Amino acid sequence: MTTPASTFVTYQAVGNREDLSDMIYRIDPVDTPFMSGVDKEKATAINHEWQTQALAAPDNTNAQLEGDDPNTNATTPTVRLGNQCQISYKVARVSGTQQAVDHAGRDNELAYQEMLKGLELKRDLEMILCGTNQSKIVGNTTTPRKTASVLSWIFSNTSKGTAGGAADPTAADGTSIRTDGTQIAFTEARLKTVLSSIWTNGGKPGTVLTGAFNKQVFSTFTGRSTAIEEAKSKKIVASVDAYESDFGKLKVVASRFQRPRDVLVLEMDKWSVAYLNGRNMISIPLAKTGDSDRRQILAEYALVARNEKASGGVFDNTTS
């Protein structure tokens, strides 16, 4: 069957208007559980510093004479730590012509591109802070400053590979990186070892961040080796979002921007991101140098490890 002769059809037409939806669809994830979960504070210098304090060890021989003239106990000084403020930015640039024409899905092209660059920068920061194995770098006129990431601070409470040179940072001060080792399976026993170590050191972690593969491994831990069917709600539950440990409940969160080989066990309020005064995800109009407009979306920030003994990690996990 064919179209009748002389029938004017859309295939021949020239003046039909386009049908372009006024919606733009994104699928790229913008969830940043680490940055969303930790505190924010203000930095006033490019080397942001803070102090930690330890108490003297408990003394089970502390029995004193009646009427004794006491001696002064030794004083435990604070420890002064610091991290460098790193500059990260994205730049949006739109031609004058593109600004002037009609757009589908947005009224202002420059504002739309500025918004996208802000989301991209947020993802960059999440990956830099908890998904990059980097130590702090002071920098100079040719080398940018870098802030030490979570992986270079976690030192006291870890489980790592048993071969391949696996090693924790040399100190809990952000000056060195982890040495990755041969990958081994993520197990509940390894997690329990880290949780016990954190508790012994005084920490109370509440969040576990893990990649996709090991989030599924987590869901097979004690009592969850098979799916559970809830008859009343007519759904099957095969995941673990909360883990009842011997030392308290932990929220288990899948994190897209950390390394899949790492499982981070964090007391979130013992971490913070310090933004240099007035430089927290700001938009800066750049000089106009032609028939276009530019916006720089910028953050200058440092990771603050308020006390790394409150957190830990299960490292060198297999990812498939």
Q: Using the 8-state DSSP alphabet, how is residue 269 labeled? A: G
Residue type, 290: G
Looking at residue 237, what is its pLDDT? Answer: 52
Rounded-to-integer distance, Cα 144 and Cα 85, Å: 10
- Give the global pTM: 0.88
Report whether 315 contacts 261 (CB < 8 A).
yes
Q: What is the pLDDT of residues 51-63, one digit of tens each?
A: 999 999 899 999 9
Rounded-to-integer distance, Cα 178 and Cα 193, Å: 19
Q: Count of H helices and E strands in the chain?
A: 5, 15
Looking at residue 137, what is its pLDDT? Answer: 97
Q: What is the pLDDT of residues 76-120, one digit of tens each?
A: 999 999 999 999 999 999 999 999 998 888 889 999 999 999 999
pLDDT surpassing 60 at residue 262: yes
